[in-house]
Structure 1
Amino acid sequence: MKIFSFLTLATVTLAATIAKRGPKASDWDYENKTVNGVNLGGWFLLEPYITPSLFKAFEPGEIPVDEYHYTMFLGKEEAKRRLEHHWDTWYQESDFEAMADAGINTVRIPVGYWAYGMKEDDPYVSGQDFYLERALGWARKYGIVAWIDLHGAPGSQNGSGSSGLRGSFDSLEELRKSIGFLHDDNLSLTLTVLQKIFDKYGGSEFEDVVSGIELLNEPLGIVSDMNKLKNFYRWGYGNMRYLNSLSYNNVIISDAFMEEPGYWNDFMTVDEGYWKVVVDHHHYQWHTPEELGMNITEHVQLACELGTNHTKEYHWNIVGEWSAALTDCAMWLNGIGRGSRWLGQYMNSPKFGECEPYTNPDEWTEEHKQNLRRFIEGQIDAYSTASGWIFWNWKCENAVEWDMSRLIQLGVFPQPFSDRQYPNQCGYD
């Protein structure tokens, strides 16, 4: 009788727990359910243009260009003190409630490798995982699912400050030298770090809230050994599926900016024994003079063409990063000490105009607001044709065109997301 009572109580308790947690996020139906998401960038991996106040605390001329140098300049003790305050305060439960109220069903949470393992001489500090787990609890409470995104790899996968370690973009050769991720020791550490993420977040404890794990953000294919990168994807997939954790969650792979239509169609297919693979595309329209020179109709049309291409892909696919930015005017967007293409200061770009009309929303003309609205609506329509979209970012201190929460307040980002002032721009209907 006591055994029966104990088992009955355990069953009731388990049932209540399951009911509280709801369906498995790991079984997200990318075929039929649209991701309406937002990134939480600049939280567990610093990006100066998202939180410039953390970098302005340094003396002029001594501002670190990335998290590697931020922690190196401060030393581990002081860096830990400042970053723990940032991790604890930059996002709060109220942010997740606001996201849910806005219609967000997915958050993508970037994290650097150093949260789970470091090279011997790394200056980074760890401790992010406590706050990541807390964030997943908030997401769970408000019915939001999460991607965990390995955003920075040892040696850097792209030479960008967004990887935690910035390199040189002065030439392709210099950029190639800046990318050390594919060196054997760095690959090994990356796989070790991923395994820790798989073991904790890929299993049953978080299957109700984690809807995918991204093996690596934005490896730069044009200067990388793509065969070696593809092998890394295979190894990461295999480790997630069959080593220790035996995770059945979704495996997300970056397109590595290899955007030729159909490039990934024959890679990691079901016929080869791979399943629940999602391709992550990132689309921004300010990296080249050609893009900066486009009018708003051309910007929207480009997004529509990309969306059409995505519908023809073999894999489930998401546009995991995009923004409202029509310029690169946001301070430090290209990196500390680098100017903007719009002003003719960077990458030998011609000058297109001044930045003041675009960086301060108080100075936005009605025409600019409507252009932003058209651009956002067009991108939502285009990227919803496949499995959905994840906007970069939920909030920034100053970069408003990258700040969904501010764009919503300004009436530029549609609420609900289906509301249209410029319907059917892509001609899909």
Structure 2
Amino acid sequence: MKDHIDYDVSGFVKAQGSKLVNGEGREFLFRGVGFGSWLLPEGYMWLFPDQGDRPRRIEQMIRDLIGEEKAKQFWEHYYQKHTSEADIRQIAEEGFNSVRVPINARFLLDEEETSLFKEQHLQIIDQIIEWCRTHRLYVILDLHGAPGGQTGTNIDDSENDQPELFMDERNRRLTIEIWHMLAERYKDEWIVAGYDLLNEPLPNWFSAYNSMVMPLYQDIVNAIRKVDNRHMIILEGVHWATDWSIFTNKLDDNLMLQFHKYWNNPDTESIQVYLDKRVEWNVPIFMGEGGENNKEWYAGAFRLFEDHEISWNFWTWKKMGKGNSPCRVKTPNQWQQLVDYLQGGAKPDVVTAERILWEYLDNLSFDHCVYYPYVVRALFRRPQTHIPAIFYGYRGEGVSFSIANRTSEHVGFRINDGVDIRFVESEREMVNFQHSKGEPWQIDERLYVLLAPGDWLAYDMQVAPYSSPTLYTIHLWVSAFGENGSIAITVDGDLVGVAEVYGQTWNKVQPELGFSLDSGQHTIVLKAEKNPVRIEWFEVISKGPVPLG
């Protein structure tokens, strides 16, 4: 259990102008993680092909392999193993203050219709709420897969690859009933921060239904407000939550707008439309899903959100076989047999299939996962984190950077700042960084900043809460631009040393300097002196505890 109190997590959350405030009226931001693939299993997090890309297909495979009764046992264990109190404890200890719980309507609805909702599954949500209250993490309830599907894709467990939420009145009514039920059940739970009404409705190819989203939102809000006037309403735009053109009228006074950000530039230009809407409507905004990339992108993107006072939620906490989430589920032995079977290969016998699946359940437990602290360090920009120089602060000239002469040449990134950003290989052709969804934004092009004498860039760092004072130094990957140069290094306004830069070949420079940092935010400034210098990245490296006495 955490040995400190998170004072942000206290009382009902509400929107107050463009800010979030807690029950004591204190302003704060959500800094959280999402539980992708828990209550709505997603095939890509199981390393499955398209034939197993959504819950209903995964469920059918498991029934086919081990039978109906053992399949029911599997899922009972799955829901308990995937996200447990151990996960919640670790999330809280890392300094996150919230979690987003994606829910599939089929997880809640009783398909045998003996009653409308599955009480035993609602109790799983009750349990996560209880753990989050204990460990002081706000809970955002997210209807990730609405009845019939709001996207018509695998991510909402669509049956026919159509957005049947908007095509069948019964699905619409069920969606409203789900939210009325959840609001009635949790109306007095202050640890529940808000209701995220629909995840990523209607990709562009189903935009013919866009006009139906806001009326549905309004009907859901009306149903919620009949029983619950205290919880915040969270609305997502269309087309993976990126298109806010549907937001033409405010539906509620306690409202937050949500966008998602994947695989594109972590710069202010890419989110300007959301910043403008925040000003227009005077409401808080939320980056409710972002991740699935590399730690360098995280170090830039999540600092972008912090500097613009945008709440954020990382996607996702745990998945199989990947190193870009905090928790990696180990791939079971013979897992490939399941993949092959889904693709038309041989069917494993019952004994083999059961062994593989139960090994997977065992691997799901937090204590059996591989934990990657570097992912969390990148999100919070904590030492030791590799920080590309292009990800200096986002709070504008005079605060996050200062340059004497603005460049008119750029590589399509942070173009409004005027900082000279270039490719390491001068002969490379310019590329388009605006990747499509599904393709990681990589820094393979190796960008650097070119600073003239007197130019400086500022980088905010976070030292974990309740950390003991520690000595640090800085390593830089740099080269001169012509004559030998130097870089003055300032920490929280104090000059701590100078890094000498010799030659035009890229080299790691490790200046003889040391400085102490305690928990909280700190600012590192890199300033060019004497001659122009090129900086590709730097790291803040721990040298151990501050000596006593």
Of 300, 312, 315, 2:266 maps to 300
Contact 1:44–1:128 at 8 Å: present in 2 too? no
Match of 1:216 in 2: 198
Tell whether 2:245 aligns with 1:263.
yes
Tell whether 2:286 aligns with 1:318.
yes
Contact 1:311–1:386 at 8 Å: present in 2 too? no
Of 67, 77, 80, 1:85 maps to 77
What SS is found at the alignment partner of 1:157?
coil
Shift of 1:424: 2.3
What is the TM-score of this pair, normalised by structure 1? 0.67
Of 81, 106, 123, 1:130 maps to 123
Of 299, 313, 332, 1:390 maps to 313
CA RMSD of aligned residues (A): 3.3
What SS is found at the alignment partner of 1:280?
strand
Match of 1:109 in 2: 101
What SS is found at the alignment partner of 2:80?
helix
Q: Per the alignment, do residues 411 and 221 of structure 1 end up closer, same or farther by CA in structure 2, a change over 3 Å counting?
A: closer
Match of 1:381 in 2: 303
Task: Provide the C-alpha distance between the structure 2 equivalents of 1:260 and 1:65, rounded to a whole number of angstroms.
Answer: 23
Shift of 1:46: 0.7
Bigger proportion of residues as helix: 1
Contact 1:70–1:79 at 8 Å: present in 2 too? no
Shift of 1:374: 2.9
Tell whether 2:54 aligns with 1:66.
yes
**Structure 1 counterpart of 2:106, one-letter code:** W
Alignment of 1:98-177 (within 5 A): 98-118=90-110, 126=118, 127-165=120-158, 167-168=160-161
Count of aligned residue pairs for this structure pair: 323
Contact 2:238–2:244 at 8 Å: present in 1 too? no
Answer 1 or 2: higher relative contact order, Cα 8 Å, separation at least 6.
1
Task: Provide the C-alpha distance between the structure 1 equivalents of 2:223 and 2:121, rounded to a whole number of angstroms.
Answer: 23
Of 262, 278, 281, 2:256 maps to 278
Gaps of 5+ in 2: 1-8, 22-26, 329-369, 401-549
Contact 1:103–1:416 at 8 Å: present in 2 too? no
Shift of 1:258: 7.8
Match of 2:394 in 1: 426
**Structure 2 counterpart of 1:38, one-letter code:** V
Shift of 1:35: 1.1
Q: Percent identity?
A: 20
Summarize deviations over 1:216-256 as a string: whole Å, max 9, x none: 111115314222111100001111112xx233200111112
Shift of 1:197: 1.1
Match of 2:446 in 1: none
**Structure 2 counterpart of 1:190, one-letter code:** T
Q: Per the alignment, do residues 260 and 149 of structure 1 end up closer, same or farther by CA in structure 2, a change over 3 Å counting?
A: closer
Task: Provide the C-alpha distance between the structure 1 equivalents of 2:143 and 2:242, rounded to a whole number of angstroms.
Answer: 24
Match of 1:175 in 2: none
Of 42, 47, 56, 2:37 maps to 42
Task: Provide the C-alpha distance between the structure 2 equivalents of 1:184 and 1:43, rounded to a whole number of angstroms.
Answer: 28
Shift of 1:69: 2.9
Match of 1:357 in 2: none
Task: Provide the C-alpha distance between the structure 2 equivalents of 1:76 and 1:136, rounded to a whole number of angstroms.
Answer: 30
**Structure 1 counterpart of 2:255, one-letter code:** V
Match of 2:340 in 1: none
Task: Provide the C-alpha distance between the structure 1 equivalents of 2:198 and 2:273, rounded to a whole number of angstroms.
Answer: 23
Summarize deviations over 1:106-136 as a string: whole Å, max 9, x none: 1000111123325679xxx954322211111
Match of 1:342 in 2: none
Summarize deviations over 1:364-394 as a string: whole Å, max 9, x none: xxxxxxxx33311211122231431100011
Q: Per the alignment, do residues 25 and 246 of structure 1 end up closer, same or farther by CA in structure 2, a change over 3 Å counting?
A: closer
Contact 1:307–1:383 at 8 Å: present in 2 too? no
Summarize deviations over 1:287-313 as a string: whole Å, max 9, x none: xxxx6xxxxxxx333xx3234433222
Summarize deviations over 1:27-79 as a string: whole Å, max 9, x none: 47626311111001111111112234xx69xxxx9x54421233345276443
Contact 1:324–1:375 at 8 Å: present in 2 too? no
Task: Provide the C-alpha distance between the structure 2 equivalents of 1:87 and 1:181, rounded to a whole number of angstroms.
Answer: 26
Contact 1:251–1:278 at 8 Å: present in 2 too? yes
Match of 2:364 in 1: none
Q: Per the alignment, do residues 305 and 76 of structure 1 end up closer, same or farther by CA in structure 2, a change over 3 Å counting?
A: farther
Match of 1:24 in 2: 11
**Structure 2 counterpart of 1:185, one-letter code:** R
**Structure 1 counterpart of 2:140, one-letter code:** W
Shift of 1:397: 1.7
Q: Which one has the largest radius of gyration?
A: 2
Bigger proportion of residues as strand: 2
Tell whether 2:217 aligns with 1:233.
yes
**Structure 1 counterpart of 2:316, one-letter code:** N
Tell whether 2:200 aligns with 1:200.
no
Q: Per the alignment, do residues 153 and 258 of structure 1 end up closer, same or farther by CA in structure 2, a change over 3 Å counting?
A: closer
Contact 1:251–1:276 at 8 Å: present in 2 too? yes
Tell whether 2:174 aligns with 1:184.
no
Task: Provide the C-alpha distance between the structure 2 equivalents of 1:115 and 1:262, rounded to a whole number of angstroms.
Answer: 29
What SS is found at the alignment partner of 1:30?
strand
Task: Provide the C-alpha distance between the structure 1 equivalents of 2:108 and 2:242, rounded to a whole number of angstroms.
Answer: 34
Q: Per the alignment, do residues 144 and 227 of structure 1 end up closer, same or farther by CA in structure 2, a change over 3 Å counting?
A: same
Match of 2:372 in 1: 409
Contact 1:49–1:399 at 8 Å: present in 2 too? no
Q: Per the alignment, do residues 256 and 232 of structure 1 end up closer, same or farther by CA in structure 2, a change over 3 Å counting?
A: same
Match of 2:409 in 1: none
